[in-house]
């Protein structure tokens, strides 16, 4: 009977150690993914600050999709590049991104965060929240699906639009 108790205890302790090691690996992988995503966001902000639409597009997968407010899907790397160029042409000079949450699942991860867009002289043009689905491509995390929406109040129609 004593041998049976020792065997059961040994198996139970072994299982607990295995579960603990597995949890630690998941936590380490999660921390690595978080750090890699935050580093990629830094690259995004740098490219944005340089108005470098080519560098921004390079951070996305070839079949990326943007989902901006008040617009259809922007699909594919070249369309992504053209979209960001149009943003720069509108006078947007800088973006700040704050990562609030990252969760990885194999070669895919998602990120939730907040953004602020600025014009010349650090004037706030827009601020809001975003969700990005990241995909691991050739050992690098790339933006795969990118959706954001403003937190700023909707603009009221002008009087001239009301009288038309």
The mean of the pLDDT values for the chain is 86
Mean pLDDT, residues 27-50 taken together? 90
pLDDT above 60 (res 21): no
Question: Which among 64, 67, 58, 74 has a CA at the least distance from the CA of 140?
Answer: 58
- pLDDT in the model for residue 18: 46
pLDDT above 90 (res 28): no
- pLDDT in the model for residue 8: 52
Please count the structural domains in the chain: 1
Which CATH number is 24's domain given? 3.10.450.50
- pLDDT in the model for residue 155: 81
pLDDT tens digit sequence for 81-111: 999 999 999 999 999 999 999 999 999 999 9
Name which residue leads in pLDDT, 18 or 145.
145
CA–CA separation, 160 vs 164, rounded Å? 6
- pLDDT in the model for residue 128: 97
Per-residue pLDDT band at 58 (split at 50, 70, 90): very high
Name which residue leads in pLDDT, 100 or 11.
100
Q: For the full predicted model, state whether its pTM sits above 0.85.
A: no
* Residue span of the structural domain in which 46 resides: 2-163
């Amino acid at each position: 009977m004593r041998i049976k108790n020792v065997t059961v205890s040994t198996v139970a302790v072994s299982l607990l150690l295995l579960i603990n090691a597995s949890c630690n690996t998941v936590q380490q992988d999660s921390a690595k993914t978080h750090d890699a995503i935050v580093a990629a966001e830094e690259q995004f902000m740098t490219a944005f600050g340089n108005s470098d639409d080519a560098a921004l597009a390079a951070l996305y997968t070839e079949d990326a999709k943007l989902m901006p407010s008040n617009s259809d899907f922007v699909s594919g790397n070249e369309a992504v590049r053209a979209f960001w160029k149009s943003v720069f042409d509108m006078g947007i000079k800088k973006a700040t991104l704050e990562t609030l949450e990252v969760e990885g699942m194999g070669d895919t991860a998602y990120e939730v965060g907040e953004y602020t867009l600025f014009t010349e002289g650090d004037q706030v043009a827009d601020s809001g929240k975003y969700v990005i689905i990241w995909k691991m491509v050739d050992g690098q995390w790339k933006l795969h699906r990118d959706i954001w929406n403003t937190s700023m109040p909707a603009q009221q129609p002008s009087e001239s639009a009301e009288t038309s």
